[in-house]
Amino acid sequence: MARLSFEGLRFSMHRDFVKVFLYKIFEFSLDSRELKAIGEFSVGEDFIEFPKDKEDTVRRKVMFLLGKKINGLNNSLTGNPTTYIHQNSGIPLVGNISFGIVDRGTSLLEIKPVTSCPLNCIYCSIGEGKQSKMHDFVIEREYLVKELEPIVEYKGIKDVEVHIGCQGEPLLYSQLTELVSDISKIKNVSVISMDTNGVLLTSEKVDELIDAGMNQFNISLNSPDQGIADKMAGTNYPVENVIKICEHIAKKKTRLVIAPVYLPGINDSELPKLVEMGKRLGATMGIQNFLEYSHGRRPVGQLSWEEFYARLAELETKLKTKLKLYPEDFNIRPAKSLPKPFKLGDTLKGEILCPGRYRNEAIVALKDRSITVITAKVSGTVNFRIVRTKHNIYLGKSL
Ligand code: SF4
């Protein structure tokens, strides 16, 4: 008898197909006829069983089938097509702003294990949400940790912060706790932090994450007023619950950062209330300036940094609280950057591995970097010129 289980996969039997869930929210299907061609089978939540076959014979065949069908992976929340980035995918984790590892030349490394979000914020810089129509990515946990470790070492400092800052909501990554636990074991990682909208947090999840090694929660609570919070989230936002979660975190030996996005004309009146709440909880206030981005939503005009800091200064005087924050407030300092294998203007040729995040984008891999290429092509090779290299994030334009 062969009973096969696979890390991160769950199964459910349907009339003529088996639905496979990867990391809970991503799904694809296996045709029952293709499984029957391997052998008579049955399915449990976390296994496929072949009662009449030997494990080593069927495992290879099932792995091959999974590898083929996972190309049809979808996000079950949005229906968006999704690429699973794993150790054998050939997709490097450095080079892309949407997934993987981003090194901006400081003591902080950003990691992005998943894309997707259950909210639909009217100011979202990437246009995320349930109605979003873009390509999603989810990374195999072991691959992410394996690639992160040497980059932390490369930094050459003893206090690296690993910041989980997804294009979306990190709590949609079903292996988040395990990921935090793995990162906490990497030598020279001193802080693990994350940005979250808070809607999927429970007290139990907070405790679990803290036990795993999370040291800092940045929660983008925009207003204690239900109407304004809903308006800004573009959907129902559980204000009361998120406040309770903030109160729960505040009782722990973990840093709480309340990080509302300031939308002039929409939540001006809310900032003082949030600051008072932050004072009560002993939280750091990390008010964010709304910025316009090419793929983002734009409910209001962007304030210049001078205007933004002037408004914070006014509030600081009125509320007698520090609101202007700088990298030093989070102990973020310059630190060795990863080498850049490409420079602006380089002309290159690469094979398209998968779609990019937005329409007319494709991902190419060269010299251990992922490169997003703007092209109408969806497969084959593409010739392109590098037009962005900042922070080892590469963008190319097809020639
Ligand atoms: S929570 Fe963040 S990622 Fe999600 S829609 Fe709002 S701004 Fe975008």
CATH of the domain at 290: 3.20.20.70
Residue 225: helix, strand or coil by DSSP?
A: coil
Instruction: Name all residues whose Cβ lies below 6 A of ligand 1.
Output: 117, 119-121, 124, 128-129, 168-169, 197
Tokens read off for 375: 């092209």
324 and 369 belong to one structural domain: no
Tell me, what CATH number does 370's domain have? 2.40.50
Residue nearest to atom 1 of ligand 1 (CA): 197
Instruction: Write the pLDDT tens digit of every residue in 112-152.
Output: 999 999 999 999 999 999 889 999 999 999 999 999 999 99
289 and 318 belong to one structural domain: yes
| Percentage, residues of the chain above pLDDT 70 | 100
Residue found under tokens 């076959």: 53
Instruction: Write the pLDDT tens digit of every residue in 338-384.
Output: 999 999 999 999 999 999 999 999 999 999 999 999 999 999 999 99
105 and 59 belong to one structural domain: no
Distance 316 CA to ligand 1 centre (A): 27
184/314 Cα distance (integer angstroms): 39
Instruction: Write the pLDDT tens digit of every residue in 278-309.
Output: 999 999 999 999 999 999 999 999 999 999 99
User: Rg of the chain over CA atoms, in angstroms?
Assistant: 23
Q: What is the mean pLDDT of the chain?
A: 96
Q: Which of 98, 122, 126 to mutate to test the pocket of ligand 1 (most atoms within 8 A of CB)?
A: 126
For residue 342, tell me if it sits in a domain.
no
For residue 341, tell me if it sits in a domain.
no
Q: What is the pLDDT of residue 53?
A: 83
5/100 Cα distance (integer angstroms): 26
372 and 291 belong to one structural domain: no
141 and 275 belong to one structural domain: yes
291 and 355 belong to one structural domain: no
Give per-residue burial for 64-101: e unless 16+ CB within 10 Å, then b: ebbeebbeebbbebbebbbbbbbeebebbbbbbbbbbb
pLDDT band at 79 (very low <50, low <70, confident <90, very high): very high
State which residues form the domain around 387.
347-398
Q: For residue 124, how many other CB atoms are within 10 A of its CB?
A: 23
The answer to whether residue 54 scores a pLDDT higher than 90 is no
Check: CB of residue 130 under 8 Å from CB of residue 167.
no
For residue 340, tell me if it sits in a domain.
no
pLDDT band at 36 (very low <50, low <70, confident <90, very high): very high
Q: Which of 301, 330, 359 is the last residue of a domain?
A: 330
Q: Which of 42, 72, 102 is the last residue of a domain?
A: 72
Q: What is the pLDDT of residue 130?
A: 86
Q: What is the pTM of this model?
A: 0.95
Q: Are strands 82-85 and 74-75 parallel, antiparallel or unpaired?
A: unpaired
Q: What is the pLDDT of residue 56?
A: 86
Q: Quote the number of domains for the chain.
A: 3
Distance 245 CA to ligand 1 centre (A): 18
